[in-house]
Each structure stands twice: as structure tokens, then as C-alpha cells.
Amino acid sequence: MSVVRRALIGPLVLILFSQAAAAQDPRLAARLDKPTLGSVRAIVDSARVAGLPTAPLVDKALEGSAKGSDGGNITSAVHQLYLRMGSAKRAIGPTATADEIKSASDALDAGVSARDLARLRSASGKRPLTMPLAVLSDLIGRKVPVATATDLVIQLAKSGLNDPEFALFQRNVRADIDRGADPTVAATTRARGLVLRTGSETKPAE
Amino acid sequence: MHDQRDPIESIARELRRPVQVSVSLDDRIMGEVRQLPHYGRLKLWLRLTTPRTITITPLRVGLAAAALAMFAILGAAHVGNDIWRVATPIATAMFPSIKKPAPNQRVQFVLVAPDAKKVSVVGDFNGWDVAHAGYQAQHRGGGVWSVTAPVPVGHHRYSFVVDDSVWVADPTAPRVIDNDYGMPNSAIVVSEQQK
Amino acid sequence: MEGSSDAVIVARVLRGDVEGFRILVERYHDRYARYAFHMLGNREDAEEALQDAFTRAYRSLGRCEDPERFGAWLFRILVNRCRTLGARRGRRAQTFVVDETAILEAAEEHPADRNAWREEIDRALQQLRTEQREAFLLKYVDDMGYDEMSQLTGVGVSALKMRVMRACERLRELLSEVQSA
């Protein structure tokens, strides 16, 4: 057998086993009713065909079941996540990891635009986006306006912040807000301090 | 003027009028479409990936079994472990989710809940299973509950469940806006170095 | 090829003629732009939804089970896309902005009157719950029957009837004051 054939058949075998396993995840059958199970499996199959990670879809269905949602809601949530992951992957590039796609789809859900995801991708170079995106979603969840939060995180990424520094930034902003600070002022001030340290200025969006 | 008795028909008539879009929209759509793979080149891929119904007959089962056996024999005789060495990086590059299982890291979860009788941690890492034995927090005194449990490297969403009924986001972790099920989640990014 | 059926064009695109897809874009963008605009309330989001729906349709074209009904299949993609974008827009808490291009259509009556009326309609429409607005537009603007709407949205007929009824009630309530003014 030629090397080329090995190279072709091998991935297909891996793909068939691992991805089909996600659609057939026994936890789904144990927790979902039959119509919901069928719908969720169909969406998982679509994701597999589209080259999207399938585990987050299974997790989303299990989460819905744990939270007592009905079948319609679960199917809708899984479908929406599938759509968001497709948008996320297109925005941050075909080489994005499953974790990056997952956190980018959370950011889309929080209101970040696909265009801004692409800006963050280009600002981050080859550094992973997972942590900056988690921090971005958190800022929005803490009432920092989407445009401001997005611009700040892009500025921080441009200035070369690494993951532990992003985590520290998030903790500091959270602590400031918990002590009563205005979320936008807290985020902007903390970001400005970090960017000044690295030698480039940041401007809040608002 | 519009209908004075029932506005619905008048509204519908107004809304049926054409809506103008940018003259460049068609070009933008086609520009994006042209960037996508053309179908002529995708034929084989589509044949391999499009779900289809097959009828199982004894003859087909026999043929399939024979083919499988042939593959196994060929694999054992000629391919050995080489196929996996060649295949894994290619499959991983094509499908980022296909990887060897990520290593676990021990992560401590802490919640202050003075009135709680029971605190569990649920998330992507344990199938959102409230009853999962490895993720039940212990009361350490003074209202502090904690559990240190294995979490695979990567990005996860999770939450605390107090007394099997109240969902609480981790106040110390990044939040995830949850618009799907209406209950809060937190995010955690576990890296290889995290202890 | 312009006069060909959807199925013929879809088949050509699937054989590799990517430019054939432009005919489908031109054939459907007007009608669907109207739906997207009314669902999302502004032209920018409507165009994003349309562009996204068309590119998704292209990517999944091999899985369009009935190419003769490509338009209906595309519409289903667009309806889903509008739901996603609408939810996101809601979270961004955008203020409603009247799209001037959309209201500057040929006037049959005094332009000021008509524009004011149109503005009130747009405003009222955006105050409906998303699922009510969706049902109302499909029923009254796209002239669909309830069975067709049910197939498109995955929602039961009785629930759709209820949504349309509530949408009508709310629109009457919101617009009655304007009408009587």
C-alpha cells in the first residue's frame, strides 16, 4: 500500500470512529427523548460534515437536559451553537482549534461581531485566542459595553499580553467592579495600565 | 390613507413594498462564494461525507465483512502502526477536535454558600452530571465549600449547583452569557502548565 | 440560463459552475431582503443575514434535498440566521434606527404622511416579540399558509396561530393611537 493511500485512509478511519462516536454518545440517548435525540444527532452530523467540533454540541445538549429544558429548547440551543461555531470558525480562520471555536462562539453569543473576532485574530498573531476571548465575554457579562470591551481586548492582544496576564487583568477588573467601580472605567483603566507598560497607548471605544 | 378600521391589512400592504439593499450586495455574496471550494472538486468529499441510507442484505453484509477482514489482514501485514503515524497529524490538521485525549489537570473549585446543604460542580468536563461522584464539594467550615477535581486541558463552561436546584456561577471566574437555558455559567481555561 | 428552473441551476453549480449561483442570488435577494429587513429592523443587519444565508446555502448545496424548491430551503436558512442575528442584536441593546432608504419608496400619498405612518409601523414591528414578528411577517407579508409556516419554522400550527393573533393584537394596540391621530 502506498504512503499516499495510507495517508488518505488513515484520517478517514480516525474521522469516522471519533466523530461518529460523538453523534452516538450514549449519554445523549440516556438523557434526551427520542425526537430531541434525533434532532441533536442530525445537527452533530452536520457539524462533522462541516469540519466543526462536535463535542461542544453534545455538551450543550447535556447542559440543557441537566438544567431541565424541554426538547425544543435543547434542539434550538444546539442548533444555534452549531450556527455560531460556523460563524466563529469563518471569522478566526480554518486553523482555529476546537477550544478557540468554542470560546469564539461564546463571544458571538455575547454580542461580539464576526468582524471583531477577525480583528482579534489578526491582533493576536499566532497566539491562542481562547483566553482573550474568555476574558472578552466576561467583560461583556460584567456590563462593559461590547464595543469598549472588544477594543480593549484587541489592544491588549496587540500589545502582546500572554494568557496569565489576561487572567490577571480579568481578576483585577472583577475585583474593582466588586468594590463598586464603574465596569467601563475599571476595564479601561486596568487595560491602559497594561498597555502603557508595554509601550503603546489604548483608546476606549466610547 | 391607511385603513381606519383595522390596521393589519394596511400594515401588511406597507410591509410588502420592496426593500432596497446595497447594489454591491450581490457582488459581495459572490465574492465570498468564490472563496469557497468549488463543487467539482468536492465531489469525492461529498460522497464520503453526505449521510445516505443503505439497505442491508445478506450479500452486502458478507461483502462488507470480507472487505473489513481484508483491510485488517492488509493492515496487519503491510501497514502496521505506520498508518496511524501518517494519519494522525493529517486528521488532526483537518479536524482540530480529533486529538488524543487532553491530559487532565487538578482544579480547585470553591464556593461560599453558608446556607447550603449540598454543593456540586457541573460542566463540560463531567457531562453536566449533578450526581457525578468526583465533583461533589465538601463543606470545609464557615460556609466554604470546595472540591479539587480533574479537568481536561482546554476551555470549559461550568456552574455550581446548590442543593440540587439552584444554579450559581462561580463568582471568581469569567462569566459566560447564557442565552440558551437562562441560567448562569462560568468559563475556565485550563492550560498544560496549570496546577 | 436565467430562465432555468432552480433545480437546473443548482445542478450546474454542483458540477462546478460557481457563477451560476449568481442567478439564484439575483432571483431571491429582493424578496428575502424584505423579510430580513423587517425582522432585524435595519439594513446593515439584514444584508449580513442575507449574505450569510446565501453563503451557507452554497456550502450546503449538496445537501439540498429538493433543488426544485431551493428558494424555500434558502428561506429556512435565512429565517434561522435572522433569529440568531436578532437575538445578538437584542443583547447589544441597539436603539431602533429607521432605515431611510427603506422608507423613501415611491409615495402614493403625501410623502410626509406616508413616511410617518411607515415609521410607526417599523417601530411597532420592532416592539413585537421576535417569534411574534416572525410569524406575522410569514403570514401577512410573505402570504404563507400555516402548514408551510410550520414546516419552515419547526413550530406547531396552533402555536403559530397564537403568535400571529398576539402580534395582530399588539400591532393594533401600538398603532391605534397613531391611526386615530
Q: How does pLDDT run across C37-53, given as a tens digit for each residue? A: 999 888 878 888 899 89
In single-letter form, the type of residue at position B112 comes to V
**Other Cβ atoms closer than 10 A to B127:** 19
User: What residues have CB less than 8 Å from A121, skipping those under 6 apart?
Assistant: A91, A92, A93, A129
C-alpha radius of gyration, chain B, whole number: 28
Give the torsion sign (CA, B29, B30, B36, B37): positive
* Residue A202, CA distances (Å) to A154, A155, C38 in order: 10, 6, 38
Yes or no, beta carbons of C52 and A146 under 8 Å apart: no
**How far does the CA of residue B8 sit from the closest CA of chain A (Å)?**
30
pLDDT of C112 > 60? The answer is: no
What span, in angstroms and rounded, lies between the C-alpha atoms of A93 and C112?
Answer: 48
- Cβ contact A23:A48 at 8 Å: yes
Q: Of C132, C107, C9, whose CA–CA distance to C61 is shortest?
A: C9
- DSSP-assigned letters across all residues of B160-187: EEETTTEEE--TTS-EE---SSSS-EEE
In single-letter form, the type of residue at position B147 comes to V
Whole-number pLDDT of residue C15: 86
**What is the SS3 assignment for chain A?**
CCHHHHHHHHHHHHHHHHHHHHHCCHHHHHHCCHHHHHHHHHHHHHHHHCCCCCHHHHHHHHHHHHCCCCHHHHHHHHHHHHHHHHHHHHHHCCCCCHHHHHHHHHHHHHCCCHHHHHHHHHHHCCCCCHHHHHHHHHHHHCCCCHHHHHHHHHHHHHCCCCHHHHHHHHHHHHHHHHCCCCHHHHHHHHHHHHHHHHCCCCCCCC
**Least confidently predicted of A124-138, B45-59, C155-169:** B45-59
Would you place residue C179 in the very low, low, confident or very high pLDDT band (cuts 50, 70, 90)? low
Could you say which residues from 82 to 111 on chain C have a Cβ atom under 8 Å away from some Cβ of chain A?
Answer: 83-84, 87-88, 91-92
Whole-number pLDDT of residue C120: 84
| Among candidates C25, C37, C62 on the partner chain, residue whose Cβ is nearest the Cβ of B46 | C62
Residues of C in contact with A50 (CB under 8 A): 59
Whole-number pLDDT of residue B18: 83
Residues in chain B: 195
For residue C60, give the chain A residue with the closest CA. Answer: A50
pLDDT of A167 > 60? The answer is: yes
Q: Of A121, A15, A28, whose CA–CA distance to B97 is shortest?
A: A15
What span, in angstroms and rounded, lies between the C-alpha atoms of A177 and A142?
Answer: 8
Report DSSP state, residue B136. B
Whole-number pLDDT of residue B128: 93
pLDDT of A153 > 90? The answer is: yes
Task: Please check whether residue C129 touches B, CB under 8 A.
Answer: no
Whole-number pLDDT of residue A169: 92
Residue stretches of chain B with pLDDT short of 50: 1-3, 42-57, 71-101, 194-195
**Least confidently predicted of A175-184, B170-179, C164-173:** B170-179
Q: What's the pLDDT tens digit per position in B153-177? A: 888 999 999 998 888 988 888 878 7
User: What residues have CB less than 8 Å from A88, skipping those under 6 apart?
Assistant: A96, A100, A101, A104, A105, A107, A108, A114, A117
What span, in angstroms and rounded, lies between the C-alpha atoms of A205 and C120?
Answer: 32
* Cell numbers for C123: 417601530
Q: For residues A142-156, give the mean pLDDT.
A: 92
**Least confidently predicted of A85-99, B26-40, B121-135, C119-133:** B26-40
Would you place residue C107 in the very low, low, confident or very high pLDDT band (cuts 50, 70, 90)? very low
Residues of B in contact with C14 (CB under 8 A): 39
Which of B93-97, C56-60, C63-67, C136-140 ranks highest by mean pLDDT? C136-140
Residues above pLDDT 90, as percent of chain A? 53
Yes or no, beta carbons of B128 and A66 under 8 Å apart: yes
In single-letter form, the type of residue at position C91 comes to R
pLDDT of C76 > 50? The answer is: yes
Yes or no, beta carbons of B1 and C30 under 8 Å apart: no
Task: Please check whether residue C37 touches B, CB under 8 A.
Answer: yes
Whole-number pLDDT of residue C178: 62
**Least confidently predicted of A69-73, B138-142, C28-32, C107-111:** C107-111
pTM of the entire predicted model: 0.49
Yes or no, beta carbons of C81 and A83 under 8 Å apart: yes
**Least confidently predicted of B26-30, C19-23, C32-36, C73-77:** B26-30
Task: Please check whether residue C123 touches B, CB under 8 A.
Answer: no
Would you place residue A148 in the very low, low, confident or very high pLDDT band (cuts 50, 70, 90)? very high
| Among candidates B87, B129, B130 on the partner chain, residue whose Cβ is nearest the Cβ of A14 | B87
Whole-number pLDDT of residue B40: 64
- Cβ contact C71:C27 at 8 Å: yes
Whole-number pLDDT of residue C30: 83
Whole-number pLDDT of residue A90: 92
Q: What is the complex's ipTM, to 2 decimals? A: 0.80
What span, in angstroms and rounded, lies between the C-alpha atoms of B80 and C45?
Answer: 54
Q: For residues A22-32, give the mean pLDDT.
A: 80
pLDDT of A17 > 80? The answer is: no
Would you place residue A132 in the very low, low, confident or very high pLDDT band (cuts 50, 70, 90)? very high
Whole-number pLDDT of residue C177: 64
* Residue C7, CA distances (Å) to C20, C61, C63, C132 in order: 12, 11, 13, 33
Q: For residues A88-97, give the mean pLDDT.
A: 91
The mean pLDDT value of chain A amounts to 84
Whole-number pLDDT of residue B75: 44
Which of A122-136, B1-15, C90-104 ranks highest by mean pLDDT? A122-136
Yes or no, beta carbons of B28 and C51 under 8 Å apart: yes
Task: Please check whether residue B40 touches C, CB under 8 A.
Answer: yes
Q: For residues C119-133, give the mean pLDDT.
A: 87
Yes or no, beta carbons of B96 and A110 under 8 Å apart: no
Q: For residues A79-107, give the mean pLDDT.
A: 92
Q: For residues A106-131, give the mean pLDDT.
A: 91
Yes or no, beta carbons of B8 and C168 under 8 Å apart: yes
pLDDT of C119 > 50? The answer is: yes
Whole-number pLDDT of residue A191: 92
Whole-number pLDDT of residue A142: 86
What span, in angstroms and rounded, lies between the C-alpha atoms of A168 and A172?
Answer: 6
Q: Of C140, C172, C170, C139, whose CA–CA distance to B6 is shortest?
A: C172
Could you say which residues from 64 to 83 on chain C have a Cβ atom under 8 Å away from some Cβ of chain B?
Answer: none
**How far does the CA of residue A41 sit from the closest CA of chain C (Å)?**
16
Tell me which of B27 and A61 has the higher pLDDT.
Answer: A61
Which residues are paired to B156 by β-bridges? B188
* Cell numbers for C156: 406547531
* Cell numbers for A44: 452533530
pLDDT of A43 > 70? The answer is: yes
